[in-house]
Amino acid sequence: MLEGLSAGVVTDVSLTQRITDALDEVESVFRTQLESDFPAVNDLCRHVERYRGKRLRPILTLLSGLAAAGGDPERGLTARHATLGAVIEMIHMATLVHDDVLDEAEVRRRGETVNRLRGNETAVMLGDYLISNAFHLCSSLGDYSLNLDLGAVTNTVCEGELLQLHHRDDLSLDERTYLAIVRRKTASLVGACGRLGARLAGGSPQSEAALEAFGVAAGVAFQIQDDLLDLTGDPEIVGKTLGRDLEKGKLTLPSVLLLASAEAADRDDVLAAIVARDSGMLRTALMRFGAIEATLERARGFVREAKANLEVLPESPARDLLGSLADAVLDRSS
Amino acid sequence: MLEGLSAGVVTDVSLTQRITDALDEVESVFRTQLESDFPAVNDLCRHVERYRGKRLRPILTLLSGLAAAGGDPERGLTARHATLGAVIEMIHMATLVHDDVLDEAEVRRRGETVNRLRGNETAVMLGDYLISNAFHLCSSLGDYSLNLDLGAVTNTVCEGELLQLHHRDDLSLDERTYLAIVRRKTASLVGACGRLGARLAGGSPQSEAALEAFGVAAGVAFQIQDDLLDLTGDPEIVGKTLGRDLEKGKLTLPSVLLLASAEAADRDDVLAAIVARDSGMLRTALMRFGAIEATLERARGFVREAKANLEVLPESPARDLLGSLADAVLDRSS
């Protein structure tokens, strides 16, 4: 993600270098934490490392530290940021591994998923191992309040996932409930990157709140785009199994908006397509009735909201890069 | 578990009352922690509460606190013990919920399992919710070193589970590897009850070590008995789906000992029974070649080891009750 941006928008080479170096440190902490005495466990963890792609959450954690400190290169980032970035990435990896079990997905980041390769049982346990290591690593920061904060966040993430499962095959799912689920299952952790990244940099309560709100809004936009790609993306480009939401009876924003806006007769056709898991028919309806554009407009709204939150922060290259990151959420095709 | 003991061995009524009151507090902390704004989440948690049976781990945590303090009724137990007991019980519940997914079990404590009632997806997420809440609740104790300690324990538990999965259908599994798995997946958490129960009571490092060793050895004995019941128990009495180990290609101590002691010809028959998942034939062989008695003798050895560790502690009713608990591990038929 950073690579793409640094080629285009970012001109601050020292900032890019700083973040790249810190990401190397995140990677090293991540790998060291997961080292086990058992080769079988190490093999699994090495497989999961291949899932790590955009590293959006560690990048956000690092940039939030810098932005909260006003971009002064002598302030902001500490070794603790790299540890926190690794903790949050580990939590994210755990949710990916368990999500793939839930979705019966076979491909992630162009490789086979753990559940596909080693079975659901190993995927469930590997996810648990990642969650456990994330909390263990977080405790190594020596501040119980960070554990308390992140524990509340992961409670919320799980509530979002459970709520989503509860609404499977719920054809009356509305936008408000969709957003309640997305805020919990995805955006709360992205918000934590902003809040805790700022806190570790000694940022003010205002900067913590602003960067949390930035993360939450960007996280919602990211998930909306993810859900859109699941319905309309090219699996070759996205690099993972698509169409699982429809297959699993998970209504997402495009279908919710389509159903809310369609006339009664068309509505019945759309419902029939959803019930029949007919992705071709659903895609056609999404395009015909402008639901893709309507979904993108919602996502753009969240990106605007994210960027508006940056305005209370002092001007800095890190703040600018956060703004570009928010824009990039919608440009991505993978 | 306590009820059965208090009718027989225990004559110290005030100790039993003390533990019973503290267990009520554990229950209350457990329930309060899991309260969610979402009725769907609360329904699931209420279902899991029915799994709570013997409450072995909270009882051990409480008794370890008392035993480390020499049984002085004015010392030892604090409100923190109830919280820690709830944390450890929550971790244990999470492993039960995920184990039932792994084992495709349908019955637990005479009720349907979550995976059976609501599907594997919900069971995976509910287990995650319990793990997350356990760490969150642990952080509320305000001491990061407890999180660090328990995080290392849950890492170990997961390693044990992953190791066990790695050895599925491994017909050459030996006793050493079996015990390495059991020590990690079961005994490490029981050992933590002893160690941390003592620590919260301000016990000496010696009492921490002794109570940890007690818990580890008792935990191994408990798991051996559990594995024996899975092969030879009556599902009506045990109250959960049995025979899953054989069904899932999981070799346990009775089969390991049987294979190690059988002559070549008999060995082939036993291997054939295991490969064919023929529980009747395996049971017959276990009885014929004395493998059940040999397994029980191993379990008795661990109970003796557990009790020997209690000897360094000052004499107290709590210490005596721990000894009785260790004996009770082998008397149980459920």
Tokens at residue B217, please?
A: 């050895």
Which of A129, A143, A159 minimises the CB distance to B162?
A: A129
Please give the residue that has the higher pLDDT: either B266 or A298.
Answer: A298
With the C-alpha atoms ordered A111, A117, A119, A125, is the resulting torsion angle positive or negative? negative
Q: Does B121 touch chain A (CB under 8 A)?
A: yes
What is d(CA B16, CA B20) in angstroms, rounded to the nearest whole number? Answer: 6
Q: How far is A316 from chain B (nearest CA, A)?
A: 34
Q: Does B102 touch chain A (CB under 8 A)?
A: yes
Residues of chain B numbered 144-203 and touching chain A (CB < 8 Å): 144-145, 147-148, 151-152, 154-155, 157-159, 161-163, 165-166
What average pLDDT does the structure give for chain B? 90
pLDDT at A50: 80
Alpha helices per DSSP H over chain A: 2-7, 13-33, 39-49, 56-68, 79-103, 114-118, 120-139, 144-166, 175-182, 188-200, 205-232, 235-238, 244-247, 253-261, 264-275, 279-288, 291-310, 317-331
Q: How far is CA B222 from the centre of its chain?
A: 7
Q: For B236-295, how does the pLDDT look when each residue is reduced to its tens digit (9 = 90+)?
A: 777 777 888 898 889 999 999 999 998 878 899 999 999 999 999 999 999 999 999 999
Q: How far is B133 from chain A (nearest CA, A)?
A: 6
Q: Is-contact A221 A330, C-beta < 8 A?
A: yes
Please, which pLDDT band fits residue A6 given cuts at 50, 70 and 90? very low
What is d(CA A27, CA A39) in angstroms, rounded to the nearest whole number? Answer: 20
Q: What is the ipTM of this complex?
A: 0.92
Q: Does B39 touch chain A (CB under 8 A)?
A: no
Nearest in space to B114 (alpha carbons), one of B64, B196, B45, B215: B45
Q: Does A287 touch chain B (CB under 8 A)?
A: no
pLDDT at B307 over 80: yes
Instruction: Please indicate whether, in this complex, the C-beta atoms of B144 and A147 are within 8 angstroms of each other.
Output: yes
Looking at the domain that runs over B2-331, which CATH code has it been given?
A: 1.10.600.10
pLDDT at A334 over 80: no
pLDDT at B129: 97
Specify the 3-state DSSP secondary structure of B107.
strand
pLDDT at A55 over 60: yes
Instruction: Please indicate whether, in this complex, the C-beta atoms of B162 and A126 are within 8 angstroms of each other.
Output: yes
In the predicted model, what is the mean pLDDT of residues A34-43? Answer: 91
What is d(CA B292, CA B254) in angstroms, rounded to the nearest whole number? Answer: 6
Question: B159 to chain A: which residues are within 8 Å by CB?
Answer: 36-38, 41, 129
Q: What angle do CA A184, A185, A191 make, to 5 degrees?
A: 65
In chain B, which residue's Cα lies nearest the Cα of A165?
B122
Which of B118, B125, B165 minimises the CB distance to A121?
A: B165
Q: How far is B125 from chain A (nearest CA, A)?
A: 6
pLDDT at A7: 44
Instruction: Please indicate whether, in this complex, the C-beta atoms of B120 and A122 are within 8 angstroms of each other.
Output: no
What is d(CA B330, CA B220) in angstroms, rounded to the nearest whole number? Answer: 11
Q: For B90-101, how does the pLDDT look when each residue is reduced to its tens digit (9 = 90+)?
A: 999 999 999 888
What is d(CA A45, CA A208) in angstroms, rounded to the nearest whole number? Answer: 32
- Phi then psi dihedrals of residue A112, to 5 deg: -70, 145
Q: For A87-99, how does the pLDDT look when each residue is reduced to its tens digit (9 = 90+)?
A: 999 999 999 999 8
In the predicted model, what is the mean pLDDT of residues A300-317? Answer: 96
pLDDT at A226 over 70: yes
Q: How far is A13 from chain B (nearest CA, A)?
A: 38
Q: How far is residue A296 from each of residues A35, A229, A257, A299, measured CA to CA in Å?
A: 42, 11, 11, 5
Other residues' Cβ atoms within 10 Å of the Cβ of residue B249: 15
Q: Does A9 touch chain B (CB under 8 A)?
A: no
In the predicted model, what is the mean pLDDT of residues A97-121? Answer: 80
Q: Is-contact A135 B135, C-beta < 8 A?
A: yes
Q: For B69-94, how does the pLDDT look when each residue is reduced to its tens digit (9 = 90+)?
A: 985 666 678 999 999 999 999 999 99
Domain boundaries of chain B, sorted by first residue? 2-331
Specify the 3-state DSSP secondary structure of A73.
coil
Nearest in space to B218 (alpha carbons), one of B244, B165, B182: B182
Instruction: Please indicate whether, in this complex, the C-beta atoms of A98 and B122 are within 8 angstroms of each other.
Output: no
Q: How far is residue B14 from each of residues A278, B21, B72, B73, measured CA to CA in Å?
A: 67, 10, 12, 9
Q: Is-contact A217 A309, C-beta < 8 A?
A: yes
Question: A40 to chain B: which residues are within 8 Å by CB?
Answer: 162-163, 166
In chain A, which residue's Cα lies nearest the Cα of B185?
A125
Please, which pLDDT band fits residue A8 given cuts at 50, 70 and 90? very low
Name the residue with tokens 């319905």. A231
In chain B, which residue's Cα lies nearest the Cα of A104?
B121
Burial B257-279 (b: 16+ CB within 10 A, else e): bbbeebeeeebeebeebbeeeeb
Q: Is-contact A196 A84, C-beta < 8 A?
A: yes
pLDDT at A53: 76
End-to-end CA gap in chain B: 10
Alpha helices per DSSP H over chain B: 2-7, 13-33, 39-49, 56-68, 79-103, 114-118, 120-139, 144-166, 175-182, 188-200, 205-232, 235-238, 244-247, 253-261, 264-275, 279-288, 291-310, 317-331
Residues of chain A numbered 224-283 and touching chain B (CB < 8 Å): none
Which of A124, A138, A161 minimises the CB distance to B101?
A: A124
Please, which pLDDT band fits residue B8 given cuts at 50, 70 and 90? very low
Q: Does A67 touch chain B (CB under 8 A)?
A: no
Looking at the domain that runs over A10-142+161-331, which CATH code has it been given?
A: 1.10.600.10
Q: For B31-50, how does the pLDDT look when each residue is reduced to its tens digit (9 = 90+)?
A: 999 999 999 899 888 888 88
The answer to which of A279-293, B5-19, B46-60, B287-301 has the lowest mean pLDDT is B5-19
- Phi then psi dihedrals of residue B305, to 5 deg: -60, -45
pLDDT at B94: 95
Question: A90 to chain B: which residues are within 8 Å by CB?
Answer: none
Specify the 3-state DSSP secondary structure of B112.
strand
pLDDT at B72: 63
Instruction: Please indicate whether, in this complex, the C-beta atoms of A120 and B120 are within 8 angstroms of each other.
Output: yes
pLDDT at B7: 44
Q: For A254-289, how does the pLDDT look when each residue is reduced to its tens digit (9 = 90+)?
A: 999 999 998 878 899 999 999 999 999 999 999 999
Question: A144 to chain B: which residues are within 8 Å by CB?
Answer: 139, 141-144, 147
Name the residue with tokens 């997350």. B132
- Phi then psi dihedrals of residue B112, to 5 deg: -70, 145
**Residue A111 host element (H or E):** strand A111-112
Q: For B185-207, how does the pLDDT look when each residue is reduced to its tens digit (9 = 90+)?
A: 999 999 999 999 999 999 999 99
Tokens at residue A94, please?
A: 């755990």
- Phi then psi dihedrals of residue A144, to 5 deg: -60, -25
What is d(CA A165, CA A175) in angstroms, rounded to the nearest whole number? Answer: 16
What is d(CA B187, CA A152) in angstroms, rounded to the nearest whole number? Answer: 28
